[in-house]
Amino acid sequence: MAKIDTVVVIGLGVMGKNLALNILDKNFRVIGYDVDQTKRIEIYHNQYISIDKLEGLKSYNQTPVAVFLMLPADKISDDYISTVFPLLHPESVVIDGGNSHFKDSIRRVQTFAERNYQYLGVGISGGAEGALKGPSMMIGGHKTSYEKLAHIFNEIGASFEEKSCARYVGASGAGHFVKMIHNGIEYAIMQSIAEIYTVLKASGSITPLEIAEVFQSWQDSHLDSYLLRISAEIIAHKEQNERGFTLDLIKDQAKHKGTGKWVSQFAFDLGVPINGINAALESRFLSSDKALRSKIDGIYNSEKQILQSNNESRQSLIQWSKELLELNYILSFAQGISLIQKGSIDFNLNVQLPEVLAAWMNGCIIECKFISALLEIYKKQPALEHLLLEDSIAKNVKQLQYNSRKLVALAISNHIPLNVSANNISYFDYLKTLHSSANLIQAQRDFFGQHGFERIDKDGIFHF
């Protein structure tokens, strides 16, 4: 069969338009559709065709096409997809490139397969620039459908050392599943960077420009990452003719579109601890009610202290911050990966972890140098039970923990909330606790509710 060389992009908002331009740049023919006429005609290219009605696709049904649905998740419904398929050549493949819930993705691949239609759920990361220059793509669905389009994905996706970051990561729903957890890790790393920024700023001895320089200087380590790079740029940014920093003019109330919340909801359902990732989401919630924060600040925050500011403590503070951020990177990925492993089993997603990590090497928001180390680890030990069990990680964490603890303790004694950092350290501490306090919890449960407890000295269920 001839290779598919025509791509339909439905939804020409920022992501859809940029993806269409990216596809055109790779010499495929693009048919673009959007309800908004201005968006439809904004693209100029000799390989570009604009259609003003979805039914217009019928004119191109002599050969199979790849259809990217680049619509907000709430606009992609089973009914909508059902109207698209009959307009196409039967060998065509429809790709959901929005942030859809992976359970919708699983259902759709199966439902449409029963009607002999081919559907792939693809998590796309990298924002508007990624869509234009090459995003990271996490592809899930039937492998035969993927294989028909592999040449397109490989061309339009980001690459790392000439290897594509558009990867087939697993069965139906796996693409959106992995993208969902990518976003949980994204929230945790964003918040970790924000926490380090807060501590350094609160020291009173390090200016925002110096913080930006410090962040830039960390790019020579495992911390080299997209999020740290943009944070350095953001912190140093000043608007034209303004003396102050732009960041100081931005409201300190974080919003979210929901995918990070899905991660926590999902982890609760599965009983997988992801303390740091949950704390990142809750930090956004905590930030949102500024009026309440002002009232509480008025009552409690009068004794706020400033961290030490002599040169020695300044250098230590920077070093401890670097180590804490590195620890946060490790524990954020460790939590995300354990959720991927458990979810993959429970939902039969057959997620290939090395493929996921290869997709995250470039083009996505959580892209960072540390992922190369993770990729090597999971290539050698694909069934590794937990990242903290791996030798090189254990060696690193053992070193990083001391100064990280000092910094979190210092922040707590200075009234500075480090939600992700503190939760990550508790996560680590709990996992390495041989005798936990859960015996008391079990005893209490039995005491008031007759729920029973197990003993270490004999088998069976016992009661007080």
Binding site for ligand 6PG (CB under 6 A): 99, 125-127, 183, 186, 256-257, 259-260, 364-365
Tokens 């449960």 -> residue:
445
The residue among 125 and 231 lying less far from ligand 6PG, judged by its C-beta, is 125
Q: Token pair for residue 244?
A: 């102050």
Q: How far is the CB of 46 from ligand 6PG (least distance, A)?
A: 30
User: Catalytic: which of 179, 201, 261, 322?
Assistant: 179
* Helix/strand/coil for 173: coil
Q: Token pair for residue 207?
A: 């200016």
406 catalytic? Reply is: no
Between CA 33 and CA 255 the distance in angstroms is: 30
Between CA 7 and CA 30 the distance in angstroms is: 5
The answer to whether the beta carbons of residues 41 and 50 sit under 8 Å apart is yes
The residue among 323 and 367 lying less far from ligand 6PG, judged by its C-beta, is 367
The residue among 60 and 360 lying less far from ligand 6PG, judged by its C-beta, is 360
Write the CA distances from 67 to 48, 76, 231, 337, 411, integer angstroms: 14, 13, 35, 30, 50
Backbone φ and ψ of 161, nearest 5°: 45, 50
The DSSP bridge pattern shows strands 66-69 and 48-50 to be unpaired
Tokens 């959720």 -> residue:
339
Q: How far is the CB of 212 from ligand 6PG (least distance, A)?
A: 22
The residue among 4 and 365 lying less far from ligand 6PG, judged by its C-beta, is 365
186 catalytic? Reply is: yes
Q: How far is the CB of 331 from ligand 6PG (least distance, A)?
A: 20
Q: How far is the CB of 252 from ligand 6PG (least distance, A)?
A: 15
Quickly count helices (H) and strands (E) in the chain. 18, 10
- Using Cβ positions, the residue closest to ligand 6PG within the complex turns out to be 125
Q: How far is the CB of 370 from ligand 6PG (least distance, A)?
A: 17
Between CA 243 and CA 245 the distance in angstroms is: 7
The residue among 359 and 400 lying less far from ligand 6PG, judged by its C-beta, is 359
Task: Provide the Cα torsion 405, 409, 411, 414; round to 10°.
Answer: -170
User: Catalytic: which of 17, 186, 326, 355?
Assistant: 186
Q: How far is the CB of 254 from ligand 6PG (least distance, A)?
A: 8
The residue among 367 and 390 lying less far from ligand 6PG, judged by its C-beta, is 367
Catalytic residue annotation: 179, 186
